Amino acid sequence: MATVTLQGTELHTNGELPAVGDDAPDFRLTDGDLNDVSLADFAGKKRLLNIVPSLDTPTCAESARKFNQNFSNRSDAVCLVVSADLPFAQGRFCSIEGLKNVVPLSMMKSKKFAKDYGVLITDGPLEGLAARAVVVVDESGKVTYTQLVKEIADEPDYEAALAALG
């Protein structure tokens, strides 16, 4: 179990992020057309998982915008923005913001993703949502970088995540 904070108040997750060098857990998330999507669907590409509680918050929205900017000219990698938001809300957000370089994916059908990645918040006002984290997975499915953002209201370390992506 890891500890994060929300404006100084401790919250706990169900576990730990996958370790660097481990195989990334596969998942089943939902895209904007209500299709099931898995990590394997992006095989052969580097994958940056931008895990956020909800795109309907300033920090989560900003991280999606910043990663979107950095993926505008990448064909070797994909940025997956994972949240508990409904796919319709994710699509509306991306449309309004003009985000075309990230793939929003929803945990609406299951919290298994958050459990498998160790980011499911188990107590406090955000119980049931995912803690803010970034996981980079290489083309072969190995985890090459992780960051659990200790204060949920803080942004991730973009430079470190993008450097790990290569």
Query: CA end-to-end span of the chain, whole Å?
Result: 30
Distances (CA, A) of 138 to 39, 65, 82, 134, 145: 11, 22, 18, 13, 9
Tokens encoding 100: 């075309």
Q: Is 60 a catalytic residue?
A: yes
Q: How many CA atoms lie within 13 A of 162 on its CB side?
A: 12
Interstrand relation of 102-106 and 143-148 (parallel, antiparallel or unpaired)? unpaired
Looking at 60, 114, 130, 133, which residue is catalytic?
Answer: 60
Q: Residues 6 or more apart from 141 whose CB is under 8 A from it?
A: 23, 24, 39, 43
- Asked if 156 contacts 162 with a C-beta cutoff of 8 angstroms, the reply is no
Q: Is the dihedral of CA 67, 68, 74, 80 positive or negative?
A: positive
Active site members: 60
